[in-house]
Structure 1
């Protein structure tokens, strides 16, 4: 009997019948085959596969089988996603699979009505699809008996787990899962679904939380024959072009690929809006998707796009994850995404039809965009994918979780709170200073050895039943834009307050709008359609794009003459040649370069990435310019730098590297940073802006000094 038959026979017979007869599948995919036995056995796992690799079914089929065989009652499986749109997209599929076995599913997130929530609480679904924030809202809500509701919980599936683990939402998810395990009184099986990453074993260990090393777990990745880093890049039709502007990009997109369905990724909402407007003016059927468009606007666009043929949808990363937008013909990328992992996700949106190949056309808007794209494609061609690394020292989330736990339990023993998180990562004894600060500042009250929510927490977070306490990220204020009663989306208030001549116009949903009335108290802006001339703008924390050490080093390799093994247009080849000429003094195969110009501009061209350069700048204060200006390519040095002063500075680093200095104002961008002692909040940010490994590698290399006169 074949392996496929063995795995298939382990599934519930009714499920097997429908897989063959309702889905029309002749066999399971390799990932689905290999997932059956360990998931049926209750093991934790991370399932790795490219986009559209069948990960959802690989988790759902064994867990539904286990649910039926063990007679699980009530809500026994959670399916957690990072995006509400992804949950909405997955729900019909999981509802069908569960329905085959007489089981039920339900959605619970911010867009679900009060009436629907009451029905879910009255009749618990077997599978609940939700987000970590909505899970925590259930735990702290006075309307949810969380102990009764989650009493039957056994397994949790975390879709796109790499998207969680790389930022603070991952720590938040992990902390909420630990609290759930304690509530139900047993470990929860944890199944992560992920695209290919560079460090799957570490991701699995992180996902297991307090169960790491105590519960059986495995990586399931049949498409990898060796380590993830050595995985050969999938074949594809990749082309790199230089167009020089958004307007030229619109011209190229409008002229190519007639009759095809195209998905265009941009790296900012503003670029999405500008490109969308220009494509529409050229008569291209165009839809838009980004986070500041209303839910209805995005849903209409995505539905229309899925059903159309000769059209374009322009998106930020909102469509990077597994949301189904129909059968795509082509992916186009303006400039470059910030990671190889993102590129793999986007590339995987194509080539799903039999006989079609994965493809991506890069259109660089400027020289830096071209260099970034070439560097990314070079790293991709080497089979390299970023490791997913949880942000270090999430002390602000320790504060948030302590407050949320006190809301959930009403009071917590001052010596027992650590037990709720099993001592994972930041929730061990090292969190004691955070607890002391919360008590001292009135965020927590202490009485009789118990901790309670204090008046300062009520004042800061108590609005709308502590809604702000369950949102992990700080979002800048935005105004809701309405045309009549229809919500179009949200815009930056700066566009409504800047002095202008003539009528005030906005660009949103790819169209220009005339502002007719602004309701300042309710943060609403009323508009009506108008001709061209609208402007788009959004601001936010962390808007600056931070390139990694590996990708910046790849850019150096490109400048030293190495082309990515993809098709380069004549324009791209010519522009890369210009870039190599422009940087001829700034790169050298033997190491890094210090350039000293007679006009006093001295720079150390490390090509080490922004975080490594910030670490180096903090560690070499005697030779770095006082304002310590850095980017991903260079560090500004003092005008009077000499070889002697350089050697002295390098010798001083022998005692260890320093963390970058953090502006106290930057703490405002750290959600719940105000609940930390200022010193700890700044230390948290400093740890997240450093790269000691990259800095050490740069320091170990040779440095070449060059002095020349500007022409």
Structure 2
């Protein structure tokens, strides 16, 4: 892996084609950006893969396409086919980049074409008749091209010289990323050569892992360009709020009474205070407010819109999330681009990535950020055009009371936010998950290969996908077992000569438009108590029977799980008030929890905290000292015992399942694991016993989970392979062993009443 530092001069400009140079002069650019300077030579050479990591709005797109267009202009393709393929995670980003690239390429006589679900059939037919120039496409549309036009892929890729992957960080570690890697490899096979790849990303932590994602197995040969020259001033504030009863205006009171009648809830005073500050601070400028759920987006959009009505001013606050129609989302995007009228979009992660919405004055985050890389990506939306990046974070915590859960006395959500920000300032980001088998996506790619070629032998499929392709952690025996599972599910059948073809179920699956996506939304389960439906819940973290579940503000014990019907039967469970910040959602990395422990044990107060936030930090630190967590992880809580491991979610899940295997009822409660009806001393003895014995294997622990179906095509995979896949992705036995050993040592030094 070669790392190139951006030079200070303008040597790259002289390497570009004269027509490209002329276009740059017409833009009145005083100079090339550092990433553009560094990327020109290796991209033009076309002999290696190139990874460009730089800040948002640092000109990464031009860093790739200025030299690509120079190469295509200097040496016109002699055969038909697309000369460059740009792969983006979002259709909206493709539409945006189309305008930017078309402006450059129209002067160079290089056609630029879009291909995604919103492009009409006639436009696609014209492209197929005369494929050339630059193709902008999503992974799902590229998948459809392989499935529906497999016979034509060699013609379409015959002149292919570059593959560009935008927002590469958004693919890494996910099923969609495994699909993308497979598709890039299949493009190489269709082109009959190793096509250079150019990866673009604003937020990458482990550059070595990122390079290996771009070219699996050959990451050390990737030219990596890291540009820090676009670092900017950061203005940061974290605002703390304590839950209070609302002091409602007449307008809010009427709306709140309506909401309470429908949901049984009301707007709390802290939510209203957050909305008031957002309204006062952001009105009159362009901003983004990131909320952690679609429900929160709708809630805060409503609160802010009401304030516009109350003040008699035009509404400046619009929602943006994945459940909204395309028209509503595009209306919000167009308003953000329109500099004549101020607007603030309240959004989920849909506006994290590089849709060109222009510069925004500031970014607000309501609730704990989902991770360091996500926070960095969101922050990158602010501070363009030479101004400072401005980030405001709003955190709500419950008021201290005798009934408050210890995890909330620790102000866990708040301290996790501080830890995330501190790691952001240290330029650390979450690395991709390197041990996942991605069997669900391997199912999809196997079926896609059969469709592309009209059938394939098991050996050819294994060589294409596993030996040469991205599924290198899947050995021959595992792949053979997977094929047997697919046969039992009638997704595939085998001819007498060994050729694999689609089975009846496989034909139906591949011929449906939903086949092309490797990912699916979190599975919704109905929660049922004594035959009465309590509601539905998206389950992102698998649960065993007997575990405890928090739903509708109450604690429930899971009686039975029907994985096929997607039903969880529950019974009322006793216990104290559950914590609001349960830790559910995206997996939290081990490094974040380690940083949280450092924050608790430190005495320094970050300068970016407001007065209430400073009090919350002191309360959390006082609780940490009062519970004695610096010396021991065990805290008694009524009839239960709480374990505070301060480790990542994979280790916490492994410890919970290990205890469950010993007959202990375990519930995840934020930072803690709650052991029901067990004393601290018995817990300490159990930890010592576990530290002196061999922990169950990861696959054995995974078998305790009734429903291990996480990804889209897991329904067709047998229980044994599902257990292995779950273990590889969600469990960490070595890490759990180290934590349990530390627990046992600390518990041995402690005395429990």
- TM value normalised by structure 1: 0.83
- Look up the match of 2:543: none
- Look up the match of 1:544: 585
Per-residue CA deviation, residues 432-453 of structure 1 (Å, 9 max, x unaligned), is: 2112322344221111121111
Of residues 407, 425, 434 in structure 2, which corresponds to 1:381?
Answer: 425
Of residues 34, 37, 43 in structure 2, which corresponds to 1:33?
Answer: 37
CA drift at 1:620: 4.9
SS of alignment partner, residue 332 of structure 1: strand
Of residues 268, 271, 276 in structure 1, which corresponds to 2:293?
Answer: 268
Quote the Cα distance in structure 2 between the aligned partners of 1:642 and 1:436: 44
- Look up the match of 2:601: 560
- Look up the match of 1:614: 653
Quote the Cα distance in structure 2 between the aligned partners of 1:662 and 1:168: 22
Of residues 8, 14, 17 in structure 1, which corresponds to 2:19?
Answer: 14
For structure 2, list consecutive stretches of 5 or more residues without a partner in the other structure.
1-6, 244-269, 309-314, 398-410, 536-582
CA drift at 1:322: 1.2
Of residues 325, 335, 342 in structure 1, which corresponds to 2:357?
Answer: 325
CA drift at 1:155: 1.2
- Look up the match of 2:442: 398
Of residues 85, 88, 91 in structure 1, which corresponds to 2:92?
Answer: 85
Of residues 325, 338, 347 in structure 1, which corresponds to 2:370?
Answer: 338
CA drift at 1:218: 1.2
8 Å Cα contact 1:260/1:311 also seen in 2? yes
8 Å Cα contact 1:287/1:305 also seen in 2? no
- Sort the Cα spacing of 1:84 and 1:706 in 2 relative to 1 into closer, same or farther, 3 A: farther
> Is residue 2:698 matched to residue 1:695?
no
> Is residue 2:641 matched to residue 1:602?
yes
Per-residue CA deviation, residues 589-614 of structure 1 (Å, 9 max, x unaligned), is: 35x411235x3311221111322111
Quote the Cα distance in structure 2 between the aligned partners of 1:708 and 1:655: 28
- Look up the match of 1:418: 462
- Sort the Cα spacing of 1:20 and 1:390 in 2 relative to 1 into closer, same or farther, 3 A: farther
Quote the Cα distance in structure 2 between the aligned partners of 1:306 and 1:563: 41
> Is residue 2:500 matched to residue 1:451?
yes
- Sort the Cα spacing of 1:239 and 1:125 in 2 relative to 1 into closer, same or farther, 3 A: same
8 Å Cα contact 2:698/2:727 also seen in 1? no
- Sort the Cα spacing of 1:209 and 1:610 in 2 relative to 1 into closer, same or farther, 3 A: closer
Of residues 51, 56, 66 in structure 2, which corresponds to 1:61?
Answer: 66
- Look up the match of 1:435: 483
Of residues 273, 290, 298 in structure 1, which corresponds to 2:329?
Answer: 298
Of residues 265, 279, 293 in structure 1, which corresponds to 2:304?
Answer: 279
Quote the Cα distance in structure 1 between the aligned partners of 2:645 and 2:523: 37
RMSD: 2.9
Of residues 629, 632, 646 in structure 2, which corresponds to 1:588?
Answer: 629
8 Å Cα contact 2:641/2:683 also seen in 1? no
> Is residue 2:713 matched to residue 1:672?
yes
- Sort the Cα spacing of 1:557 and 1:659 in 2 relative to 1 into closer, same or farther, 3 A: farther
Quote the Cα distance in structure 2 between the aligned partners of 1:665 and 1:116: 47
Per-residue CA deviation, residues 613-662 of structure 1 (Å, 9 max, x unaligned), is: 1122334557x662332355222346151544432221114787777435
- Look up the match of 2:347: 315
SS of alignment partner, residue 391 of structure 2: strand
SS of alignment partner, residue 91 of structure 1: helix
CA drift at 1:184: 1.6
SS of alignment partner, residue 345 of structure 2: strand
Per-residue CA deviation, residues 166-215 of structure 1 (Å, 9 max, x unaligned), is: 211110011111112111211111111112322111211221136556xx
Quote the Cα distance in structure 2 between the aligned partners of 1:620 and 1:451: 44
- Look up the match of 2:238: 240
> Is residue 2:126 matched to residue 1:116?
no
CA drift at 1:119: 2.1
Quote the Cα distance in structure 1 between the aligned partners of 2:449 and 2:133: 26
Q: Which stretch shows the higher mean deviation, 678-687 or 366-375?
A: 366-375
Quote the Cα distance in structure 1 between the aligned partners of 2:144 and 2:207: 30
The count of corresponding residues between Structure 1 and Structure 2 is 635
Per-residue CA deviation, residues 528-550 of structure 1 (Å, 9 max, x unaligned), is: xxxxxxxxxxxxxx973432211
Quote the Cα distance in structure 2 between the aligned partners of 1:477 and 1:338: 20
- Sort the Cα spacing of 1:671 and 1:664 in 2 relative to 1 into closer, same or farther, 3 A: farther
8 Å Cα contact 2:114/2:136 also seen in 1? yes
Per-residue CA deviation, residues 361-404 of structure 1 (Å, 9 max, x unaligned), is: 11112344322212211222333222123561112222211111
8 Å Cα contact 2:492/2:503 also seen in 1? yes
Of residues 209, 212, 219 in structure 2, which corresponds to 1:202?
Answer: 209
- Look up the match of 2:140: 133
Per-residue CA deviation, residues 25-78 of structure 1 (Å, 9 max, x unaligned), is: 122111111111111111101100011111100110111111122322531111
Of residues 181, 185, 194 in structure 2, which corresponds to 1:178?
Answer: 185
8 Å Cα contact 2:232/2:383 also seen in 1? no
- Look up the match of 1:94: 101
Quote the Cα distance in structure 2 between the aligned partners of 1:113 and 1:423: 32
- Look up the match of 2:516: 470
Q: Which stretch shows the higher mean deviation, 550-559 or 179-188?
A: 550-559
Alignment of 1:133-172 (within 5 A): 133-142=140-149, 145-172=152-179
For structure 1, list consecutive stretches of 5 or more residues without a partner in the other structure.
225-231, 479-491, 501-541
- Look up the match of 1:107: 114
Quote the Cα distance in structure 1 between the aligned partners of 2:684 and 2:708: 37
Quote the Cα distance in structure 1 between the aligned partners of 2:586 and 2:443: 28
- Sort the Cα spacing of 1:311 and 1:5 in 2 relative to 1 into closer, same or farther, 3 A: closer
Quote the Cα distance in structure 2 between the aligned partners of 1:655 and 1:665: 17
Per-residue CA deviation, residues 257-292 of structure 1 (Å, 9 max, x unaligned), is: 442222111111100000001100000511111100
8 Å Cα contact 2:50/2:223 also seen in 1? yes
Quote the Cα distance in structure 2 between the aligned partners of 1:286 and 1:443: 48
Alignment of 1:486-501 (within 5 A): none
- Sort the Cα spacing of 1:192 and 1:567 in 2 relative to 1 into closer, same or farther, 3 A: same
- Look up the match of 1:222: 227
- Sort the Cα spacing of 1:663 and 1:64 in 2 relative to 1 into closer, same or farther, 3 A: farther
Quote the Cα distance in structure 1 between the aligned partners of 2:199 and 2:670: 33
